Structure 1
């Protein structure tokens, strides 16, 4: 009897246990389940993420690391990080660890991490620092094709088609653009007080050499002021369109094309008549005292600009509002712009600032969700760009802010973080300028080789040898310090000995293959 009762009791408990298990499963199903990995739940939660309710969608908490360069140390970074995580934890169940690195060390640090297979989630990349195409080809970055549509639907619609074309490396997408100005427009940045005093008419300047009378007046009338400042790199790389629509394919080899050449024949730019004309003009200016005499050894002119010692420099990104931005760089002096070219868009004008996801990321889908949120949620882009309201900045009006002096956070580099058009305006900036910039982005003349990136792997030895020659001859010729009549041909010959013809042939081969694949 006792035995039969025991069986009866155990039977009842089994029934209740089964019922309890079914009830628990039913609750889990209604609540979205308990995802065990980001890769497993990504597709099931992408629609919830898009609507901003991912935090209640069953995502497991994860931590993401984000590396990016910084130009100034931010004392109160942790406060900003916490404020960001208050949002991301709720929205996508992710905490973000901000990992800024001083800009001069950034590329070396990230390249070392890639080489040692060190894990990270998101890293800033560009064509000019921590090379985007090279690292994509090395397998450092995750191929995002197939994931963007699922996890970044809104961002994909936001960016112009030319952006997605330029982001391709060998036909695949490895980066998400930090949307800002994507055009080049070349010209002079001039202190307005000197432009006014010596009656500089920007409309009368059609070529680089047309600036000489004004620069000569400054040299004569303003002792202690540098009329036209150069660093050891010179200005030809940013003046190339001002001479004859040249476009660099590779900055290290100094090889490019003429943009109006339908055959897209690669040329050694150092051998072009345009480079010869440039070196002769710079040498003439150097001898006349227009160019700073220490140019061949100078790495930066920023300190001289800040104290007002420079009358003009040359730049290739004279976007709308550049005069306002440069005012601070010139010690608060008003600026005049002299445009020499119309807006132009090429691969390198676009891939200046991006975020990539590491191939070793344990949570790549969640990293994409964060980048989508960063680029659409104005709270996030403003937090990382300006900090916390009342502590790091105060509002001038609804859309404009100014930093609080001594607040401990003012990186002034929105272009490193995300979509600059979603962020607050800084005091002195205008919505009209922002609208003009977007208009230029959408209407600029496109490069005939948009989307092409050279892979230097087959000619790395020659590239290293050429770079050594460039370092020896470039500063003197590019700054006008030495006479091109005596040194230019020697430079050309040394580049030939270093293997420039082999590199030229390899670039042409890759360019021809790219044309066949793309039909261009």
Structure 2
């Protein structure tokens, strides 16, 4: 996902450490779909989708999970010039800091606030829980009427991943959907200490680099960590695919064709991870306040971050590693897994339409235009040429000095293959990776949380307390891990897992597995 390595659950994330792929090059206002995009298996688009009705002016509000850029007003104005002309829409962008987004959206939704669009995922503003609560509306009919470009662009597996009880409640953003766990670390430091990227096959293999950084650069943060931890970002590296969302009990092992649900927090793999983090914390490789730190953006911008975990690494990220936080610090990237295509990685970035929206039709039309109009997309993704970034040099983005708009969230806002800054070759390679990557045994399965929504809410209270302590190495594993598991059970984790198994078994029968 993003080029400055926002961790999913980071998101991812990955936060998702997420690294953004940079997307396909095109001239302004080009309306063709992405190169090599697989056709959707959806039904034919109705005539209404291609015949624009007379539109009345409306205002739309969009919530986004990203550090608020300083110059949002300029970008809004440029986008609205296009949107008012084509859709009679005035758009209001509401960016919310990574670490605050979940809580903010819980407040917004509980209050019944009127808004129209919101970023949703398995790791932020949880998609399944929002569906269970009625936060988002089903968009199947709206897509047929108002989103021909989206339907022609998103492959069938994207729609299958987004379905809950047969309906689509959010539109997947089109990007590198595979999950490829990796570690990024500063090239200058690795070269100085003779640390070879090819020697990093697991997360633990990073330790010699961390030790050198700690010894020789005491002002730096050897390994980036915030209160979300990085177990979710390294889920594939530890051999799991989640069933119901980040930090909800229930996962399957990627090598288990029987699809037996396990509690990942009771696994030997999770114990190994938290023991490693405890060791690294005691050695000073992790910030001592990591358990309360919202995110590591400030450290990256200040050039203090030496390494971090990554997810969703695309061909461009692996072949041309991005910088860590600053153009002054190029990185090495070591891939520690092969690409896997997961339901959870597809739904790691989506856009939902709020049930409080007064204009859901126009909201879907806006998303379709964002997939279609590359000028609109690139203003949103990159800002204004000459003000926020220099004229493109080939496919390399060059930011203006002290740029006031650089959200680096191509992966969060529609079809990232519309970006100015990915060559057609890389775009094709990324799409082929989506198509050829090994699939999770539960690829295409979506969980219905309604039967256990009370238990999910109860276990969420427990994970909110213990995940920051355990995954940042801030608490003694021997004491707090058994305590964590015990409290999860009392909150209903076994019931959640039983329901997940029931639904997986029913799904298996429909697939003939």
TM-score range (shorter-chain normalised) is 0.7 to 0.9
More helix per residue: 1
Q: 1:405 to 1:191 in 2, by over 3 A?
A: closer
1:278 aligns with 2:281: no
- Bigger RCO (CA 8 Å, 6+ sep): 2
2:194 paired residue number: 199
Assess, with a 3 A threshold, how the Cα gap between structure 1 residues 499 and 46 changes in structure 2: closer, same or farther: closer
Partner of 2:211: 216
Higher mean C-alpha displacement, 168-177 vs 429-438 = 429-438
Question: Contact 1:252 / 1:463 at 8 angstroms: preserved in 2?
Answer: no
Among 367, 370, 373, the residue aligned to 2:366: 370
* Mapped partners of 1:227, 1:106: distance in 2: 26
Unaligned runs of 5+ in 1: 1-41, 49-53
Asked if 1:46 corresponds to 2:39, the answer is no
- How far, CA to CA, are the matches of 2:474 and 2:73 in structure 1? 47
Q: Which residue of 2 aligns with 1:35?
A: none
Max Rg structure: 1
The one-character-per-residue Cα deviations of 1:350-387 (angstroms, maximum 9, x if unpaired) are: 12232233445454434333322211111211222234
**Structure 2 stretches of 5 or more lacking a match?**
1-44
Q: Which residue of 1 aligns with 2:96?
A: 102
**CA shift in 2, pair 1:475/1:107, >3 Å:** closer
8 Å CA contact 2:132–2:450 kept in 1: the answer is no
- 3-state SS of paired residue (1:267): coil
The residue aligned with 2:494 is: 501
In 2, Cα distance between equivalents of 1:302 and 1:75: 15
Residue of structure 1 equivalent to 2:431: 438
Deviation at 1:166, TM superposition (A): 1.0
Please tell me whether residue 354 in structure 1 is matched to residue 347 in structure 2.
no
RMSD between superposed Cα atoms in Å: 3.2
How many pairs align?
467
User: Is 2:410 aligned against 1:414?
Assistant: yes
Say if 1:197 and 1:373 are closer, same or farther in 2 by CA, change over 3 A: same
Output one character per residue of 1:144-185: Cα deviation in whole Å (capped at 9) or x when no partner.
224424432332222222211111111111222221221211
Q: Distance in 1 between matches of 2:321 and 2:196?
A: 21
**How much has 1:464 moved relative to structure 2?**
4.1
1:218-233 matches, within 5 Å, as 218-233=213-228
Which segment is superposed worse, 380-389 or 320-329? 320-329
Q: Is the aligned partner of 1:240 residue 2:235?
A: yes
Residue-by-residue CA offset, 1:120-140 (whole Å, 9 max, x unaligned): 443333233333233333333
Between 1:234-243 and 1:353-362, the stretch displaced more is 353-362
Query: Contact 1:250 / 1:256 at 8 angstroms: preserved in 2?
Result: no
Maintained 8 Å contact 1:452/1:511: yes
The secondary structure found in structure 2 opposite 1:440 is helix
Query: 222-231 or 252-261, which moves further after superposition?
Result: 222-231
Q: Secondary structure at the match of 1:415?
A: helix
Cα pair distance change 1:514/1:72, threshold 3 Å: same
TM-score (norm 1): 0.78
Q: Aligned partners of 2:252, 2:341: CA distance in 1, in Å?
A: 15
